[in-house]
Amino acid sequence: MKRYFISPDQKQYRANLHSHSTFSDGMLSPEELKRAYREHGYSILAITDHEHPKSHAHLSEPDFLMLTGYEAYIRTNASAQFDRYEPEVHLNLFAKDPQNETMICFNEAYVKYVNDPVERASLRRAGSERPREYSVAYVNEFIRTAVECGYLVSYNHPVWSMEDEERVLSYENLFSLEIQNYSSYRQNGIEYSGALYDKLLRRRKALFCHAGDDNHNKGPLSCPRSDSFGAFTMILSDDLSYDSVISAMECGEMYASMGPLIHEISMENGIVHVECSPAARIVLYTGSKAPKYAVPAHGETLTEADLKLDPIAPYFRVAVIDESGKIASSRGFFRSEFNA
């Protein structure tokens, strides 16, 4: 019997799950960001300003959804000053309730973008307000508090953050890894974290994966250096209601991409079937040194492939790579899911 992991009948909504507005260090207002992404074919936008939880639900429309959230960070120094040579932790917090604007582990050194004294005084706070510590224990405490307060928590731009992999592998209660971050990729050319994602999956960390622009829009949208519209998440929800989209994210009904689209992932009799937009390579990763893959004849492209799954594979995930090297990445599916 065929089992679908991405069904061709599922709706797919294009989302940017990481962006910054004038409420922190972005150059565009929430209204301008919404308009730009809507005009570029997106249906969902999360404005995740630095240490500034803010609902923009009033901007949602029947064909466009604004997700509530913010980006939190933890640095190695007590003053929270940026140091380009030191590692740090960045987390996106996505609110399950669109009106949830709770500030997790409030710390004066970090909250520099909430300038209005009335708003600052009225911030809902939760968790310890002691100085933030750059330690695995503190990061896990922060994540746990955020989850208890109704947030889905993701780990952002691993390459840019410069953390040792063993630290990242020690974090708990994350729901997803930002496997692609366009703003960082545009600068460093290497912000794709497929290898780290496989290490997490091999450790049986049941994280999902997604992609985001992390756009700040320091220049015009038409500029070649623009950090908008380069990485996105396709969310497979029943509709564009807030509850449906958050539920799909929480269940991993989504995939990450910087270009290619995945139309179907299914399995029957040990064969994983993939259908996608034109691709130069389709890869089936299983935690093995020798992943299965399909490539087209010279000068052609693929739009589907059948790849045999190793009977002892603990998990699989699919990557679709187009002719320009842009990658779409499914989440990892564990044996308990594909043997069910």
Burial status of residue 89 (CB atoms within 10 A of its CB: 0-12, 13-18, 19 or more): buried
Do residues 54 and 70 lie in contact, with contact meaning Cβ atoms separated by under 8 Å? yes
Q: How remote is the C-alpha of 325 from its chain's centroid?
A: 19
Q: Which of 121, 124, 84, 77 minimizes the C-alpha distance to 104?
A: 124
| C-alpha–C-alpha distance, residues 107 and 80, integer Å | 10
| C-alpha–C-alpha distance, residues 191 and 327, integer Å | 12
Would you put residue 80 in left (φ > 0), alpha (ψ -120 to 50) or beta? left
| C-alpha–C-alpha distance, residues 303 and 8, integer Å | 13
Structure tokens at 73: 């960070």
Do residues 226 and 216 lie in contact, with contact meaning Cβ atoms separated by under 8 Å? no
pLDDT at position 339: 83
| C-alpha–C-alpha distance, residues 155 and 92, integer Å | 7
Q: Which of 226, 179, 233 minimizes the C-alpha distance to 44?
A: 233
| C-alpha–C-alpha distance, residues 167 and 147, integer Å | 20
pLDDT at position 1: 86
Return the bridge partners of 307, or none. 272
Count of beta carbons in the 10 Å neighbourhood of residue 35: 14
Q: How remote is the C-alpha of 247 from its chain's centroid?
A: 15
Structure tokens at 244: 């449906």
Residue with tokens 């699989």: 316
Return the bridge partners of 270, or none. none
Structure tokens at 61: 């429309």
Return the bridge partners of 302, or none. 279
> What residues contact residue 227 under an 8 Å CB cut-off, 6+ apart?
182, 183, 186, 213, 214, 215, 216, 217, 218
**Domains in the chain, please, with CATH?**
10-258 (3.20.20.140), 259-340 (2.60.40)
| C-alpha–C-alpha distance, residues 239 and 247, integer Å | 11
- Tens of pLDDT along the chain (340 residues) come to 899 999 999 999 999 999 999 999 999 999 999 999 999 999 999 999 999 999 999 999 999 999 999 999 999 998 999 999 999 999 999 999 999 999 999 999 999 999 899 999 999 999 999 999 999 999 999 999 999 999 999 999 999 999 999 999 999 999 999 999 999 999 999 999 999 999 999 999 999 999 999 999 999 999 988 999 999 999 999 999 999 999 999 999 999 999 999 999 999 999 999 999 999 999 999 999 999 999 999 999 999 999 999 999 999 999 999 999 999 999 999 999 988 6
| C-alpha–C-alpha distance, residues 64 and 38, integer Å | 7
Count of beta carbons in the 10 Å neighbourhood of residue 24: 19
